[in-house]
Chain A
Amino acid sequence: MKIAFLSESPADEAVLRVLVEGALKEQPTVASAGYRARGWPNVLQVLPAVIRHLHFNTDVDTLVVTGDSDDSPVHTAAHDAPQYYHPHCRMCQLRAVFRQTSKRFPAAHGRLRVRRVVGVAVPALEAWLLCGVEDSVNEAAWTEGQARGILPYTRAELKLKVYRTERPSLPYEIACAVREAERHRRDLRRLEYDFPGFAALLRDLQEPIPEIS
């Protein structure tokens, strides 16, 4: 398995690497080039080009992509219905980009297409990092807060809890984020249960790589 990552920041990518390794129970080969986006919606903007590049120019078989939901609608089971697409749900948007970009690609490098692995952190990746530390931080609490119009916490508060400062340096941010991600590495069940946006990523990761029949 050869994996590439695309996320909103180097810190997010460092976390994803730990979580994906934990899910796979092994250390996958990671594409040497680090693909980067400059936050949302830049992830969405560069994703088609990254998919195209990986498909035709590399032997990468899996692309892991994540974004923060911020204030957008949270993905629900109803969105998974066949032919359903929520125009403002970031999970739906990312999946649609994969679908539309690669639907006419010919097979290349021994696979039909690059496997899609998509997750959305609600409302931000720092919520995943606080899972198991702050019981009140979970996707259900955020979704309920959105429905009531009273959010249980802000993204800034989550970041402050993880980094203890509003302005962490990048090396410090990565160190804090990886430390919290390492808590989950051995047992991802709590994160999977509290954050369906992460559970979706795990399900994608369990799908077979689309191979030429």
Chain B
Amino acid sequence: MIASVAFRNFKALRNTSLRLSPFNLVIGANGSGKTSLIQALQQLRALAKLPLGDPATVTRAGGSEISFAFDAPHLGVIARLGCVDDAVCDLLRVESVNRADWEEVKVGLATMRSYVFDHAAMAAPAPRESGARLAGDGSNLAAVLARWQRETPAAFDQLQAELTRWLPEFTGIVVPEDAGGVVRLGLKIGDAEGPVMADNLSQGVFYVLGILVLSFDPAPPAVVCIEEIDRGIHPRMLRAVRDALYRLSYPAAMGETRAPVQVIATTHSPYLLDLFREHPEEIVITQKHGHEAHFERLADRADLAELLREGSLGDIWFSGILGGVPEES
């Protein structure tokens, strides 16, 4: 979908670019530009919904600019965001040989979603009609699952089976609805009489459910951004998290025939990073020096093979050899 992003004077990203893969795991110190990358994509999505103006009138000299290029079959399309300051972009200029190409790109961008799961919000009851698409904080989780159970039971069953594989103490999902059309979430435990309702479930269970909803979405978006995908999840379950995200980006590897979903995820977990030893091309390191940050692809590092002979990828990152660590005073 999105082939690359180039930044000029956008927050700490003063002059850097990033080639995007189907799957991208972004690592780096706090405040190094991981979230800025996702915010840039959100701004593109927001501005792409609006009618395009005259290119001559939407060019702003100086200032911040973010440029996007796209994968085939839209190689000729370039979208440039102009920003009023180093955080807010309000102009979109599109360079495309064929206007129809941009219209197709827009359709994909409109489906793009970003997630920062909030377990407290995910535990809350949700109005029945809010379940069309998982909200950015996961706050309508119960309504989404209820809708899947009603309308796409095969996807619901797949998700439920995967949940019980990840967390074998649970045997199923319940989503009772009250008279006012509000849905609550609960999980069944073995032979216990009643389910454990959301307010008594642990934080990690909600994060797991959020990831599974994205992974088994019967109508997934073209691009998914997820912050801190390892949060609240036991390190031994991170392989399952990786598999769930690969299911989106590489559906053929999982025996599925739908279109791939481009995934941009962030993490601070060396344990999760260890799982990408064989795919360094999927790792992006944000490097920050002073007030300026830039992106590097791990696979571009010439001595990577030699380094990996000496230790695990996560440990090598933590050591500082790869960069992407906090600066010390």
A contacts, CB < 8 Å to B: 10, 36, 38-42, 70-72, 155-156, 159, 165-172
Contact = CB atoms under 8 A, between A and B. Distances in A.
A41 B312 contact: yes
Interface of B: 165, 236, 239-240, 243, 246-247, 250, 252-254, 271, 274, 277-279, 309-312, 314
A38 B271 contact: yes
Contacts of B165: 171
Nearest to A36: B236
Nearest to B270: A38
A38 B247 contact: no
20 contacts: A36-B236, A38-B271, A38-B314, A39-B274, A39-B277, A41-B312, A42-B312, A155-B278, A156-B278, A165-B250, A165-B253, A166-B278, A166-B279, A167-B250, A168-B253, A169-B253, A169-B254, A170-B240, A171-B165, A172-B254
A163 to B, nearest CB: 9
A199 B108 CA distance: 55
A53 B179 CA distance: 56
Contacts of A159: 278
A38 B309 contact: no
B270 to A, nearest CB: 9
A169 B246 contact: yes
Given A41-B311, A159-B278, 12 more contacts: A38-B271, A39-B274, A40-B312, A71-B309, A155-B278, A156-B278, A165-B250, A166-B253, A169-B246, A169-B253, A170-B239, A170-B243
A109 to B, nearest CB: 27
A167 B310 CA distance: 24
Contacts of A41: 310-312
B25 to A, nearest CB: 13
Given A167-B253, A168-B253, A169-B254, A38 B312 contact: yes
